[in-house]
Structure 1
């Protein structure tokens, strides 16, 4: 029996959904691998720092390794600008492939670079070049992958799907930590890890990035980019504005300012609640390192599950109410929460306070990528989503832990809590002033023509 037009339409719809889902999975898997590669450097630096910086004591070696790690954050805005512009001019798929290829090269260079004992000062020089590649790649990956998922996700469930962007960030960190525990406890001795075993995570990361490149070569281009490409074809002004930094800062300056305002509080809170709290529980609360690590790791696993659920909530009630969870909570709850965590002696209370902080943070981390994507037109979306955030992340995220420790050293630790609250208040004001993007999404407006 011949297929009816309804049957053919249904098959085409199912095929389209399968292709959309495969593309979303391909983009998300690549993001996990990118974050694993980028974070593996900091996690394993305790073992390889001596190989590249043999002079001085262990603290000096770790400081040198940390300085090279910081280079990766400094160069992120440049990568966000270059790869974001590439995504807006030549397609999301091309830019995502370039990004993961650069990350693969950077990781493999670290895995294969001879030590200081073999090639002298060239060793840290090569390490710096590899870290520059990784930072450049990550700068472009963040905004472009978020843009891709925002454009690929179905309109009614966009918050749910884009919530997985933050899942991939945490998952990359957890995979790197899990590999470290596996190598430490079951595979290698401390001497073997310090001698050559530290190369394993970078070799694995480079190989996984090659696999991610394979996955991304097969993903579909987004309809949003193809429409923008067709609309600007042959139009001199339209072509000139695609991926243009000038157009972003002048013609879309209000959206750019909103993006910065959205990012300030959430970025500082992210580095505070996902990274600094572990050290805070050791230095201030008095927990052992193992206990603090266990508390933060379990809390992060649960936090990872929060992201698509908060995104789903934003699909039901709007983006602003979800962002206000962070805006109000971050502004008014950070100080009492940090004071309570600093004085508790209960592991369960510390875990609950960690989880409360991450629950507040989820109001930002689950949907901020989507909100930014819904502000910008397709011809500037990857650049607009990625570059302002990369600048805020480099300036404010990179200094969060330093400021926290500086205030503690000066005897005014609580001042840092008020700093985090003040940054959250800036974002709160932004959330109240900006439009509700669920109802005024530029992505949907462009789709309707």
Structure 2
């Protein structure tokens, strides 16, 4: 029949499966899973928050904007490694072990953060300092390329039936923001505790060291998480058997390439907005307009706290009205959020606060949903690889380039182009998602 799914025979359980039944997350599982997600975001965001302070140490220049652009170029380089990490580790997770790949990812993230904390500056070892910084950020990119996909694959399998939106809102909204808030809060506390010249000289290293130490705790918390390659598909999924070869994973992913494109845009659009508000605007405030950094980080922390509190409610709202409807509604809110950034064009802490809290609330509504929506677009047999690769490509193309593009356009007096660009990407994500939905590419929640 036209438009209907072909009948598939359910594959019988085999020794490739670790768990015979679906498990629902316990509190310790949730803390371990969410804590690792939080640490990933803490370690990744700390670099963005500290870019204005570390830039003179690794990219010395008489022009602070040039130094900042150098730091943002390395920020973007870390994103380039994310698709490679997804391509290398995603199929391993889908074929062999979700949990093992997740543990590797969180270890590499934390170790890289600690090494950045003790890395000698340009004045000590010259260009080797810059090269080492790039290598460490590439390592973090490889790790996070796999972490996002595997964490979502585990979360969707451990979610209580019928509450996938609420649970992923908790993991990918509340815990993501816990990590981001933790980074901005540590930055706030360090900035408030030391003199400005001390912050510029060495105290910017402290948040990186904290991330490295937290990694040890999260490693042990994640021991409670079970393997989630399960024998029985939880959702209407035509592919129920774990792929035996990497080639099989890529073949299955090619068959759902429209879903992959939708994942790229669903994630890329919201990450464009996320890095505008979490990295671009705060660094413009600190590095270009020379606002009081303690207040800048304080406002950033308040914005993140608001995101964390209402994320589960947004997920529950999606469960109630259908994820597709909630996604479209929230995604359209990004358009005014992008245009609000035009208001912050000169030094004004009050304007900065207004833009961050009002526009940031619109971005936060999308941050609560985007991982859930992306996960619904992938069949479970390639869920880790599909979400990880789509996430990595989307965040690299759109998120990783955002801070650099935002600062560069403002410097060239073309700031008006940025919200147009962001709005077009947001609208494109809605269009492609709708096409994928009409072609039956939604596997959870509809």
Q: Identify the TM-score tier after normalising by the shorter chain.
A: 0.7 to 0.9
* Residue in structure 2 matched with residue 240 of structure 1 by the alignment: 245
Match of 1:380 among 379, 382, 405: 382
* Residue in structure 2 matched with residue 128 of structure 1 by the alignment: 134
* Residue in structure 2 matched with residue 4 of structure 1 by the alignment: none
1:312-363 Cα offsets, whole Å, 9 max, x none, are: 10111110121122233334x45765567779x994x875664443343344
CA contact (8 A) 1:39 1:176 kept: yes
1:193-212 Cα offsets, whole Å, 9 max, x none, are: 55554443333222211221
Name the CA shift for 1:108/1:382 in 2 (closer, same or farther; >3 Å). Answer: same
- Within 5 Å, which residues of 2 pair with 1:86-165? 86-116=92-122, 118-164=124-170, 165=172
* Residue in structure 2 matched with residue 328 of structure 1 by the alignment: 332
Name the CA shift for 1:183/1:350 in 2 (closer, same or farther; >3 Å). Answer: closer
| Cα distance, 1:88 vs structure 2 | 0.8
CA contact (8 A) 1:166 1:304 kept: yes
* Residue in structure 1 matched with residue 80 of structure 2 by the alignment: 74
Normalising by structure 1, we get a TM-score of 0.79
Structure number with higher helix proportion: 1
Larger Rg: 1
- Within 5 Å, which residues of 2 pair with 1:176-255? 176-186=183-193, 188-189=194-195, 193=199, 196-222=202-228, 224-227=229-232, 232=241, 238-240=243-245, 244-248=249-253, 250-255=254-259
| Cα distance, 1:154 vs structure 2 | 0.8
Name the CA shift for 1:310/1:288 in 2 (closer, same or farther; >3 Å). Answer: same
| Cα distance, 1:268 vs structure 2 | 2.4
Name the CA shift for 1:49/1:387 in 2 (closer, same or farther; >3 Å). Answer: same
* Residue in structure 2 matched with residue 398 of structure 1 by the alignment: 400
* Residue in structure 2 matched with residue 442 of structure 1 by the alignment: 443
Task: Tell me the distance in 2 between the aligned counterparts of 1:335 and 1:103.
Answer: 30
Task: Tell me the distance in 2 between the aligned counterparts of 1:126 and 1:285.
Answer: 29
Name the CA shift for 1:330/1:46 in 2 (closer, same or farther; >3 Å). Answer: closer
Structure number with greater CO (CA < 8 Å, separation at least 6) is 2
| Cα distance, 1:243 vs structure 2 | 7.2
| Cα distance, 1:54 vs structure 2 | 5.6
CA contact (8 A) 1:310 1:362 kept: no
Name the CA shift for 1:32/1:242 in 2 (closer, same or farther; >3 Å). Answer: farther
Q: Root-mean-square deviation (CA), in Å? A: 3.8
Name the CA shift for 1:192/1:382 in 2 (closer, same or farther; >3 Å). Answer: same
CA contact (8 A) 1:100 1:137 kept: yes
Q: Secondary structure at the match of 1:163?
A: helix
| Cα distance, 1:129 vs structure 2 | 2.1
- Report how many residues are paired: 418
